[in-house]
Structure 1
Amino acid sequence: MYIPLFESTMSIPGYRSSDTAEFALEFGGARAAVVASDVPDGFGVDDSVRCSPADVPADALAEPVELVGLDGLAGVSAMRIEVDYDPTGLPPGASPTDVAVAVETDGGWETLDSTVDLAETTVTAVLNERPPGSTIVAVYDDGEH
């Protein structure tokens, strides 16, 4: 069982906080928590240096951030990715719940099954594996991604 680097305040449903390592990027408003057999020291959340402004999805509701150290992450039981978003960026008439976490893959941006917290203006994806990419952003999800 993984021994956490520090106590987590971001829970993953079905897991004890003592089994969870949490990493946050305050400026970017993104947080990641993971339960895994091996979490490298370099794992965390950082500003996205890989994503040029031209590559950011047009429907982005936040600045992209980077999950770093994914290559060394092994034995993932659960991962929770939470991103703050700006609801004023939603198109007119859009539902405030049509927001998702998107990850950049070789084939473009892929939205993940996500849950929106309207009060906190955050969107969260919970995975049972590593995400298919490392650059993440909150996007307006009209179901066409």
Structure 2
Amino acid sequence: MAIPGYDASNVNDYTLESAGASVDVVAGVIPDEFGLAKSGREPPVDALADPVDLVALDDLKAVEAVRIALVYDPSRLPPGASPTDVAVAVETDDGWEPLESTVDLEKTTVTTVLNDRPPGSTVVAGYDDRDDANAEPTE
């Protein structure tokens, strides 16, 4: 799927079907090594899928847009959770950070579109319990 607002001929797409992950990139330099791989990292407790690594992410140059789409398992949502409380989360030095995301309930996918590289190279679909008004976890 193309990134909204970008000519499809300028978008490079990568898929890891076994993990239900895809990434689309618009960048000035995309190294041959760039792609997706199953991650060996431990997923967060609220993960709804297995983590995926964005390989050679730091070697992308002149990034205009990155679209990450992940399939998730809605049966792994906590009891009482809304099926729309799902986000793409990225592992940073401070832990897992949920990104602004869009959920497709029919396809059970969650997607984020960024105008730069994500702040980490490992991503996962996870339950997002932040309050939308202040983007802080609810208690």
Task: Establish whether residue 45 from structure 1 lines up as the match of residue 45 from structure 2.
Answer: no
TM-score, normalised to structure 1, is 0.89
- Identical positions, percent: 61
2:75 is paired with a residue of what secondary structure? helix
* In structure 1, distance between residues paired with 2:18 and 2:83: 23
1:103 is paired with a residue of what secondary structure? strand
How much has 1:142 moved relative to structure 2?
A: 0.8
How much has 1:67 moved relative to structure 2?
A: 0.3
> Among 114, 117, 139, which residue is 2:104 paired with?
117
Q: What residue ranges of structure 1 are gaps of 5+ in the alignment?
A: 1-9
> Among 8, 13, 17, which residue is 1:26 paired with?
17
Task: Establish whether residue 89 from structure 1 lines up as the match of residue 76 from structure 2.
Answer: yes
* In structure 2, distance between residues paired with 1:57 and 1:114: 17
Partner amino acid for 2:19? G
Instruction: Report runs of 4+ in structure 1 exceeding 4 Å deviation.
Output: none
* In structure 1, distance between residues paired with 2:122 and 2:63: 18
Residue-pair matches, total: 132
2:19 is paired with a residue of what secondary structure? coil
Partner amino acid for 2:82? S
> Among 89, 98, 103, which residue is 2:85 paired with?
98
Give the match for residue 75 of structure 1.
62
Task: Establish whether residue 134 from structure 1 lines up as the match of residue 124 from structure 2.
Answer: no
Q: Which has more strand, going by share of residues?
A: 2
Q: What residue ranges of structure 2 are gaps of 5+ in the alignment?
A: 131-136
